[in-house]
Amino acid sequence: MEAEEIPVLPRGVRLHYDHIREIWVLLAPERAVTLDAVGHAILSEVDGERSFGEITQKLAEKFNAPVDLIMQDSAGFLGALRARRFLDVSS
């Protein structure tokens, strides 16, 4: 994932708070992916407008962590979602 690329959740993929299990999940076609706090934080910033660079910059400030580390972790997480067609990317 490049800094200028813009991630977006495609139609049919959405964040959902599971009140029964008290966790965040990503609902996708015939799948439900359990999200940890980090995964939820990353996806909460994905709005289809801001770039990967902008999102990770904001997360670095929010969590007071090095931006390189945030970029690396986020790229791995979003890349896995992209491979499953749960995330689209435009540039």
Partner 1 sequence: MTTAKTAPPPIAMLAELTHRCPLSCPYCSNPIEMALQEAELSTETWTRVFQEAADLGVLQLHLSGGEPASRRDLTDLIAAAQKAGLYTNLITSGIGLSEKRLRDLDAAGLDHIQLSLQGTDAAMADEIGGYRGGFDRKMKVADWITKIGFPLTLNAVLHRRNLHQLPDMLKMAETMGARRIEVATVQFHGWALKNRDALMPTLEQAKETTRIVTEARLRLKGRLVIDYVSADYHSKYPKRCMGGWGSTGLNVTPDGQVLPCHAAQTIPHLTFDRVQDRPLADIWYNGSAFNAYRGTDWMAEPCKSCDRKTVDFGGCRCQAMALVGDASATDPVCQKSPHNAALQAQANTHAAHDRASFFYRSAPGKTPAPTE
Contact 4, 52 (CB under 8 A): yes
Give the closest residue to 63 by CA, choosing from 44, 77, 81. Answer: 44
Strand, helix or coil at 24? strand
By beta-carbon proximity to partner 1, the closer residue of 20 and 37 is 20
48 part of the interface to partner 1, by CB under 8 A: no
Strand, helix or coil at 60? helix
Among 4, 31, 47, 65, binds partner 1 (CB under 8 A): 31
Shortest reach from residue 62's CB to partner 1, in Å: 28
| Residue linked to tokens 């910059």 | 57
90 part of the interface to partner 1, by CB under 8 A: no
Binding site for partner 1 (CB under 8 A): 10-13, 16, 18, 20-21, 25, 27, 29-32, 82-85
